A = this chain, B = another copy of it.
Amino acid sequence: MQKYKPLILVTNDDGINAPGIAALIEVMKTLGEVVIIAPDKAQSGMGHAITINSTIRINKRNTYDVKEEYSCSGTPVDCIKFGVNKIMDRKPDLCVSGINHGTNMSINVIYSGTMSAAVEGAIEGIPSIGFSLSDYTIDADFTASKKIVKTIAEKVLQNGLPEGVCLNVNIPKLKLELIKGIKVCRQAKANWVEEFDERHDPSGHPYYWLTGKFENLDLNDIDTDIWALENGYVSIVPTQFDMTAHKAIAEITKWEF
């Protein structure tokens, strides 16, 4: 009897040609049948954006030797929607996004295209994981990451995930033997202190680059993703798309309108 092969949907936000997605695909090919649909260009910081005011282009490719492979002009979330609804003939068993060049810890989960793709996978009812490596460079070393990715993806294929929950995985920039372990955490409280870098175009008109400094506001607790990563652990934050502040319902219900 032939062994059941999981069907795996792969995307990212750094674009289909990024080394991070190549590493992710390499691992996924050892676990199942792979379908890739990923942005044709970098889509960092796109959050949960979808393309509704313009059109989407899809191009078939054949560079990674997988079941099917497409680039998409849209956002990471568009990729998941298109993959699930238009390309795949059945619901995937796993949806993975990344490996992102750079972390998506703490509040950055909300700005991240990588994680929004995983969240969209969860909305579609697919066990989904976003992977990020704490190294922004194009020539980042994904050797340790590939081992970690395989371990966690196998566990998710085996156990599934609770309804409405996906995983946000951040991997420290360390050799495998120096990584202390895998920690399940909560999203740390943090913030960006923004600066807008003002420049002037050749006509003298101002324009701005969004930039800023990341500020950890959660220094005392050791159950956060920032703590884990800074202390040599892989962090896993179970992440949900229900944004209801359930505890606040009772309080605000008391207001007399």
- Residues of A bordering B, CB below 8 Å: 42, 44-53, 55-58, 74-75, 77-78, 81-82, 84-86, 107, 109-111, 116, 119, 123-124, 151-152, 155, 159, 161-162, 164-165, 167, 181-182, 184-187, 189, 191-196, 199, 205-210, 236-249, 251-253, 255, 257
Contact = CB atoms under 8 A, between A and B. Distances in A.
A245 to B, nearest CB: 4
Contact of A243 (B81, B109, B196): B109
19 contacts: A45-B52, A45-B53, A46-B47, A49-B75, A51-B210, A81-B210, A82-B208, A84-B194, A86-B194, A107-B241, A119-B243, A159-B255, A162-B247, A165-B248, A182-B257, A187-B242, A239-B245, A240-B248, A243-B243
Nearest to A187: B244
B239 A243 contact: yes
A47 B45 contact: no
A61 to B, nearest CB: 15
Nearest to A78: B210
Contacts of A123: 107, 110, 191
Contacts of A199: 55
A119 B84 CA distance: 28
Nearest to A256: B155
Given A110-B123, A155-B257, 9 more contacts: A45-B49, A46-B49, A48-B116, A49-B111, A81-B194, A107-B241, A110-B119, A119-B243, A167-B252
| Interface SS of chain A | mixed
Which 7 pairs of residues, A with B, have the shortest CB-CB distance?
A47-B48, A238-B248, A240-B245, A238-B245, A49-B49, A45-B52, A85-B194
Nearest to A193: B85
A222 B219 CA distance: 40
A127 to B, nearest CB: 12
B44 A53 contact: yes
A146 to B, nearest CB: 15
B240 A241 contact: no
A206 B247 CA distance: 48
B44 A47 contact: no
A18 to B, nearest CB: 14
B47 A116 contact: yes
A14 B109 CA distance: 25
Given A45-B53, A48-B47, A257-B155, A58 B208 contact: yes
